[in-house]
Amino acid sequence: MEPPPSGQDNHHAPPPGQHHKNVPCDSDIIVQDRRWHAAVPRLEMQVRRAITLSAWMTHRPYHPTVLLTNDRAVKTLNALYRGRNKPTNVLTFEASGPFGDGDIALAFETIRREASSSDKSFTAHMLHLLVHGILHLAGHDHLYAGEARRMEQAEARILARLGVANPWRVSERGWR
């Protein structure tokens, strides 16, 4: 199955767990903190699946390097590249040369804390933030209401294909 031409809605994405033959995931996944393996079953497979599906559904073959690290490392990167001396859940860096498709860094403790406080599974929240980072690399942003809504809708569509509930939908218990 070929992806639809750019600009068309994609209702025929490959089933979860299957990859499009023309969109292999050749991303580097660097697990710098061993807690990631304990927290996320089949970690590398889930990360590669999210990258592949995101690339296919956005019609952009981005295969970023993904760094799964901790708050301390992300705080250092955030201070060095963003001038903010604090950890954050995800940092996305666009490619700066002819090689590579950008980098995404995820902070274990911040993601764990956010998932717990919002009653989400760690895996679901990590996948949401990974997709969020990939969408930034694909040109999405959330500075203004309209573009934020479009980005949220794209996240929800991709996450649905990954079997993750819409993080923007309100439930009886609050935000999902």
Q: For the purposes of burial, counting CB atoms within 10 Å of the CB of 110, is it exposed (0-12), middle (13-18) or buried (19 or more)?
A: buried
Cα torsion angle, 11, 17, 20, 26, sign: positive
**11 carries a ligand binding annotation:** no
**142 carries a ligand binding annotation:** yes
Tokens 């860096």 sit on residue: 93
C-alpha–C-alpha distance, residues 82 and 63, integer Å:
23
Helices (H), 11-138: 35-39, 43-58, 71-82, 108-117, 122-137
Per the annotation, where are the binding residues? 132, 136, 142
Residues marked as binding for Zn(2+)?
Answer: 132, 136, 142
